[in-house]
Amino acid sequence: MNSWRNALSLTFPVMMGYLPLGAVFGVLWMDAGLAWYWAPLMSIIVYAGALQYLAVGMLAAGIGWIDLAVASLLVNFRHLFYGLSLYHLLPKGRLGRPYFIFGITDETYSLLSASGQVKDSKTALQIVAFNQGYWILGTLIGIVLARGLPPGLQGLDFALTALFTVLAVEQIRAKKDWGAVALGLASAGIAGLWMSEYFLLAASTMLVLVLLAWPASDEEA
């Protein structure tokens, strides 16, 4: 029980973001005229905040599954690199390991990598479960709230961008690695100018290639 309580206390900041963000997703889903039961099912099976927001408009517009799959790859391409720095927290169980890999979102990754308070895989897995629970609960709350809200509300989808901004600021304040910040900004700028159609894929690939070629310091060697 102590580990569950510790995990719960660590996830409070994510809960404060995921409940309203999940609710916004539920409201946008209902506002798009899509069947309500697919929203919580997507939060259970897909569980990818930015992609779920994007999927609302694409599904409402009748975009094909192939296009949606390609968009999913581009939006979530960054997740391929999360496990490299969280390998020490990877559970050993047959069910825990794939669920942990599945449940690593931006916010969960930020919490596990920046807090310094998570030392074991059991607590890390509990954090993943709590965070997804918040998102699912928020989605259900949004579905209920949407029934009493006027259609066509503007600006709700900006909530996710705002959360990403806060997470980035917190990471910078915690790590104070200005070289990484400069590399990220440079990769984003180059990708935005020359490969805007494949921005996320291009920016992530450039950043990883530069980091792999970067000479290791004496402390890292």
Interval 22-32: pLDDT, tens: 998 999 899 88
Is residue 188 scored above 60 in pLDDT?
Answer: yes
For the segment 99-107, the average pLDDT, to the nearest whole number, is: 90
Is residue 198 scored above 70 in pLDDT?
Answer: no
pLDDT of residue 165: 75
With bands split at pLDDT 50, 70 and 90, how would you rate the model's confidence at 218?
very low
The residue to which tokens 């990877």 are assigned: 90
Percent of residues, the chain, with pLDDT higher than 90: 25
Is residue 141 scored above 90 in pLDDT?
Answer: yes
pLDDT of residue 164: 66
**Residue 148, helix vs strand vs coil:** coil
For the segment 64-70, the average pLDDT, to the nearest whole number, is: 79
| Residue 210 backbone class (left: φ over 0; alpha: ψ -120 to 50; beta: rest) | alpha
Please give the model's pTM, rounded to 2 decimal places: 0.73
| Higher-pLDDT residue of 116, 33 | 33
Q: Which long-range contacts (CB under 8 A, 24 or more apart) does 11-15 make?
A: 11/111, 11/127, 11/130, 11/131, 11/134, 13/111, 14/107, 14/108, 14/111, 14/130, 14/131, 14/134, 15/130, 15/131, 15/134
pLDDT of residue 219: 46
For the segment 59-84, the average pLDDT, to the nearest whole number, is: 78
pLDDT of residue 136: 97
| Higher-pLDDT residue of 80, 161 | 80
Q: Chain-centre distance of CA 203, in angstroms? A: 17
Percent of residues, the chain, with pLDDT higher than 70: 82
pLDDT of residue 99: 94
Closest CA to 8 of 160, 117, 136, 162: 117
pLDDT of residue 26: 92
